[in-house]
């Protein structure tokens, strides 16, 4: 028989230091590491330095805008599209109060599927402006993306959000900010999986650098991440009430197109290499 004391009690302070939240810090660290990794890849591939500099701005804006709109439109359209003030809350990191005032909240909802779509659109715009080959950009970003994804999920863990279902596995977390039940640490599962993908991708790149620019790493990143996302959803609690009666939840439905695209890109790359 298991007792609550057998599990990991989780209730960290949301603030890291100097008023910065752990979630924001994880985002920044993840983006910084991706920036350094892609910069190094550009140097190895002898792509001009001036062509790299705009890339970070495009990626940052694409991910942030896409992740925010993805959360609001995929998960809470009934709220954010119900009034003008709620629509403004979708765009700006604020919340309007009943007395007519407002308060700064930060972007409390960000969806990885929307962030991925926003990133792809941003990279297309970057390619149109700079002339760097699309598949080269996509592959380089894909090699670094798992690092950012890993740190974002660690940020979710620090926030005690996107929690798993109740379980009695010995590594279950009791998220005290949520309730007193032991649950799957779904965020940690994803963080570990994405860290593993980064090392797999780097090992493959070192062994087969000629695959960079064929779409192989882009396809691998999409297929791996969203296949894992599809199955990890079975360990997670639903994020919104409307998902309760769905056979596949919203996260799973949104994962399927990305898996198909990823597999198609890898197949195309293998044909091109042969």
Express each pLDDT in 143-181 by its tens digit: 999 999 999 899 999 989 888 899 999 999 999 988 889
**Token pair listed for 164:** 């798993």
**Token pair listed for 223:** 């297929």
Same structural domain for residues 55 and 190?
no
Same structural domain for residues 140 and 13?
yes
Q: How many domains does the chain have?
A: 2
Host H or E run for residue 20: strand 20-21
Question: What single-letter DSSP state applies at residue 5?
Answer: G
- Inside any domain, residue 251: yes
Same structural domain for residues 159 and 273?
yes
Give the chain's length. Answer: 274
For the chain, give percent helix, strand, coil, nearest 5.
65, 10, 25
Same structural domain for residues 144 and 236?
yes
Most confident of 77-91, 105-119, 212-226, 249-263: 212-226
Residue 241 has pLDDT above 70, yes or no: no
**Percent residues over pLDDT 90 in the chain:** 41
- Inside any domain, residue 41: no
DSSP result, 80-140: HTSSHHHHHHHHSSEEE-TTS-EEE-------HHHHHHHHHHHHHHHHHHH---HHHHHHH
Q: What are phi and psi of 173, to 5 degrees?
A: -105, 140
Residue 34 has pLDDT above 70, yes or no: yes
- Inside any domain, residue 34: no
Same structural domain for residues 82 and 168?
no
For residue 201, count other CB atoms closer than 10 A to its CB: 22
Same structural domain for residues 141 and 256?
yes
Last residue of a domain, one of 76, 97, 131: 131
Last residue of a domain, one of 131, 147, 169: 131
- Inside any domain, residue 27: no
Last residue of a domain, one of 131, 151, 178: 131
- Inside any domain, residue 81: yes
Same structural domain for residues 165 and 268?
yes
As a whole number of angstroms, the distance between CA 39 and CA 56 comes to 10
pLDDT digits 0-9 by tens, 49-71: 888 888 888 888 888 888 888 88
Same structural domain for residues 146 and 273?
yes
- Inside any domain, residue 29: no
Same structural domain for residues 89 and 219?
no
Q: Where are the beta strands (DSSP E) in 138-241?
A: 173-175, 182-183
Same structural domain for residues 124 and 153?
no
Q: Tell me the CB-side half-sphere exposure of residue 233, using CA atoms within 13 A.
A: 21
Same structural domain for residues 185 and 235?
yes
The distance of Cα 87 from the centroid of its chain, to the nearest Å, equals: 23
Question: What single-letter DSSP state applies at residue 213?
Answer: T
pLDDT digits 0-9 by tens, 5-14: 678 999 988 8
CB 129 within 8 A of CB 202: no
Residue 185 has pLDDT above 60, yes or no: yes
Strand partners, 175: 10
Q: Across residues 125-149, what is the average pLDDT?
A: 92
- Inside any domain, residue 200: yes
Residue 259 has pLDDT above 90, yes or no: yes
- Inside any domain, residue 269: yes
Same structural domain for residues 126 and 190?
no
Entry pTM: 0.79
Mean pLDDT taken over the chain: 86
The distance of Cα 16 from the centroid of its chain, to the nearest Å, equals: 21
The response to whether 153 counts as a known ligand-binding position is: yes
Q: Across residues 212-220, what is the average pLDDT?
A: 94
Range of the domain at 207: 1-19+133-274
In three-state secondary structure terms, 193 is helix
Question: What single-letter DSSP state applies at residue 215?
Answer: T
pLDDT digits 0-9 by tens, 68-88: 888 888 778 888 888 888 888
Q: What are phi and psi of 161, to 5 degrees?
A: -125, 165
């Amino acid at each position: 028989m298991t007792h609550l004391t057998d599990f990991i009690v989780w209730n960290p302070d949301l603030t890291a230091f100097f008023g910065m939240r752990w979630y924001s810090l994880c985002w920044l660290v993840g983006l910084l590491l991706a920036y350094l990794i892609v910069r190094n890849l550009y140097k190895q591939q002898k792509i001009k330095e001036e062509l790299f500099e705009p890339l970070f701005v495009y990626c940052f804006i694409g991910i942030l805008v896409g992740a925010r709109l993805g959360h609001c439109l995929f998960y809470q359209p009934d709220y954010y599209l119900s009034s003008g003030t709620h629509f403004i809350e979708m765009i700006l990191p604020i919340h309007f109060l009943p007395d007519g005032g407002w308060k700064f909240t930060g972007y409390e909802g960000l969806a990885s599927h929307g962030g991925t779509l926003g990133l792809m659109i941003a990279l297309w715009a970057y390619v149109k402006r700079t002339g760097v080959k699309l598949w080269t950009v996509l592959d380089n970003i894909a090699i670094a993306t798992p690092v950012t994804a890993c740190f974002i999920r660690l940020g979710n863990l620090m926030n005690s959000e996107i929690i798993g279902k109740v379980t009695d596995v010995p590594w279950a977390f009791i998220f005290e900010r949520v309730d007193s039940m032991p649950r799957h640490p779904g965020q940690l599962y994803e963080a570990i999986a994405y860290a593993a993908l980064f090392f797999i991708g780097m090992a493959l790149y070192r062994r087969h650098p000629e695959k960079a620019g064929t779409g192989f790493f882009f396809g691998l990143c999409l297929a791996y991440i969203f296949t894992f996302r599809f199955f990890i959803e079975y360990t997670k609690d639903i994020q919104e009430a409307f998902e309760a009666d769905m056979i596949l939840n919203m996260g799973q439905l949104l994962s399927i197109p990305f898996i198909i695209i990823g597999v198609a890109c890898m197949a195309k790359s293998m044909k091109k290499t042969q």
